[in-house]
Structure 1
């Protein structure tokens, strides 16, 4: 064995087959983790539903008409919890509205919320894909 080979072996400058295998396995694990993280990010946003209240109208002491818009995946049915509140921010009415699947990405809706007392506002609490 030459002096150069002895020095390379002593200071770890040689590549052993086991070391190459460990590096390759580490790279493979990193690629799998990045792919898994990417898939979790994409799959979480596929079923995302966005909602915006566009207006409300207090009809009388027992009902409010809420106008709102949802943005959901086309072809998927959606449910939304809508609320009416009084002047002190107490919930005086709510209901769950089931919206059938549509072909468009966005839908504008008007729904009546029955109330137990006169409401001062109406809004969409949350929406989800059913």
Structure 2
């Protein structure tokens, strides 16, 4: 008989099957939560679209041209919100553009945005899978 067994017998401590069930249930719940978190992480990045503004040119007081690159899932159509801003970062032009699906993961585009006042910059606000 080990020292631990002697102490358990002396003080009335026994290992019950109930405790083993509790440990098993906690382990199963923990594994389920880890699996769920992993799936949510992967699922949220499947339709991830990244847009980088590579340049802009102020055409005149009524237009700005934006050059940008999009990295998106292959075979999915996408849409982007483009905007032109003035000196105080106020939006003076806005345009939604849609692009058909492509087998290329990265593509480059040029778009002209009409403005209501002179602009100082143009940028891609956001892009998404449609």
Question: Which bracket does the TM-score occupy, shorter chain normalised?
Answer: 0.7 to 0.9
Partner of 1:95: 95
Q: Which string of whole-angstrom CA distances, capped at 9 and with x for unpartnered residues, describes residues 45-70 of structure 1?
A: 11111111001112222111110001
Question: Any stretches of 5+ residues in structure 1 without a counterpart?
Answer: none
Shift of 1:38: 0.6
Structure 2 equivalent of residue 107 of structure 1 = 107
**Within-5 A mapping of 1:36-75:** 36-75=36-75
**CA separation in 2, counterparts of 1:75 and 1:106?**
12
TM-score by length of 1: 0.88
* 2:22 maps to 1:22: yes
Match of 1:32 in 2: 32
Cα deviation, residue 7, structure 1? 4.6
For normalisation by structure 2, the TM-score amounts to 0.88
Cα RMSD of the aligned pairs, angstroms, is 1.7
SS of residue matched to 1:32: helix
Count of equivalent residues:
126
Match of 1:116 in 2: 116
